[in-house]
Each structure stands twice: as C-alpha cells, then as structure tokens.
C-alpha cells in the first residue's frame, strides 16, 4: 500500500513539474526588425542594416536615431562582444551622455515577427503572446535603466527623463536568457526590449 501511495505521489509530482516547466517556457517574440534571439546574431550584421556607428561607448552600447520618430540602442553580448546581446527600441530618445548616430533605416517600422511594434496596443501584445511572466508598474526611478548612460558613477543624470510609461509587460524564459519587455504608455507600446544577454 505504501509503495502504491509513493508511486502515485511521484507521478503527481512529475506531472506538476511538467506543467510548471510548460508554464515557464518563453512565449515572447524572438525577432524585432532584423534582430533575432536564439541565434548568434552578429553585431556587424545589424550594423550592416543600421550603418557603422562612428563612436561606440565604453559599455559596448551603440545608439541610433531614425528622424524624430524612433530610437534604438544595441548592446553587445556580455562575454561575446561580436554578438548582439540586447536591443531597445523606443519612441523617445533612449541614450544620454553619448553619441547617437542617425540611420536611414526606418526604425519606427520595426516589428516583431508577429507584427507587434511601437504604437501597438497592450491588448494586441496580450492577445499575441498571452499572459506575461510579470506585469510591472513603473514608479519613481523604476526602468530608468532603459535610457543608456542615465546612471553613472552612482548617480542618475540630472536631465529630465522621457515618459517611460506606467506599465511593463515582461516575458522571460525559465531556463534561457530570452527576454522581451513592452513598455506601455496610455495603453500603447512606447518601447520594446528584446534580449538574450546576462
């Protein structure tokens, strides 16, 4: 009898673990514009689209601007600088204290493979990718890190910050570094992070 109870308990535990693992699988986007996570995406390939930055900052981040409509920073992978680790696309300037290169690429038109981009609705994000791993509400200095160079030498920049939105839908994988974050302002996507960086 005890043996049978232990078998049932083990079976139940296995099923719970499988369901939990399935629930934590990455369900967010794998592509934004030409950049794709889950592939070793070369920095030089992305710069082939955007143009080579004249100056790269010492944190391995390069900043681009497409008119006054869209802004992008690209960061190298933490331990493999030839690969892209993260990109952040926004409808507001997202780099301070560093050079920003104008690109002829229409950054505002960049979308995920499923068609979500700047200006998409929160409802569209949720219907496309499902319930997020986390739903953060932005308060105080939360999410100031999305503006590259804002924090330096233990202090935030004194420059006024752009409106980062009031909510962030976060999609992360349980056993991968894959991450997508959608900043929401007034029910609309104002910035998107796609990352496979540490």
DSSP classification of residue 8: H
pLDDT above 70 as % of the chain: 84
Concatenated DSSP letters of 39-100: S--BHHHHHHHH---S---TTSEEEEEETTTEEEEEEE-SS-TTBEEEEEEESS--B-SS--
Helix (H, G, I), strand (E, B) or coil at 6: helix
pLDDT level of residue 8 (50, 70, 90 thresholds): very low
Pairwise pLDDT comparison (89 vs 12), residue with the higher score: 89
Q: What are phi and psi of 106, to 5 degrees?
A: -80, 85
Domain boundaries, the chain: 2-192
Given a cut of 80, whether residue 103 has pLDDT beyond it is yes
How far, in Å, CA of 168 to CA of 4, rounded?
Answer: 47
Helix (H, G, I), strand (E, B) or coil at 12: helix
The region, left, alpha or beta by phi > 0 then psi within -120 to 50, assigned to residue 31 is beta
Q: What are the tokens at 73?
A: 């920073």
Residues 54-95 have pLDDT tens digits of 766 556 899 999 999 999 999 998 888 899 999 999 999 998
Q: What are the tokens at 21?
A: 């693992």
What is the pTM (predicted TM-score) of this model? 0.84
pLDDT at 58: 59
The strand pair at 61-66 and 101-102 is best described as parallel
Residues 107-122 have pLDDT tens digits of 999 999 999 999 999 9
132-143 average pLDDT score: 92
């Amino acid at each position: 009898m005890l043996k049978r109870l232990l078998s049932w308990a083990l079976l139940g535990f296995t099923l719970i673990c499988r369901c939990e693992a399935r629930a934590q699988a990455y369900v967010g986007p794998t592509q934004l514009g030409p950049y794709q996570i889950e592939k070793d995406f070369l920095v030089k390939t992305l710069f082939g689209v955007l143009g080579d930055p004249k100056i790269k900052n010492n944190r391995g981040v390069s900043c681009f601007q497409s008119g006054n409509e869209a802004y992008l920073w690209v960061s190298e992978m933490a331990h493999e600088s030839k690969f892209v680790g993260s990109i952040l696309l926004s409808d507001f300037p997202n780099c301070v204290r560093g050079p920003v290169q104008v690109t002829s690429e229409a950054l505002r038109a960049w979308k995920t493979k499923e068609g979500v981009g700047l200006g998409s609705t929160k409802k569209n994000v949720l219907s496309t990718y499902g319930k997020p791993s986390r739903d953060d509400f932005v308060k105080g200095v939360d999410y100031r890190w999305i503006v590259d160079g804002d924090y330096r030498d233990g202090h935030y920049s004194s420059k006024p910050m752009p409106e980062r939105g009031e909510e962030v839908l976060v999609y992360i994988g349980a056993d991968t570094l894959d991450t997508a974050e959608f900043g929401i302002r007034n029910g609309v996507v104002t910035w998107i992070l796609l990352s496979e960086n540490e």
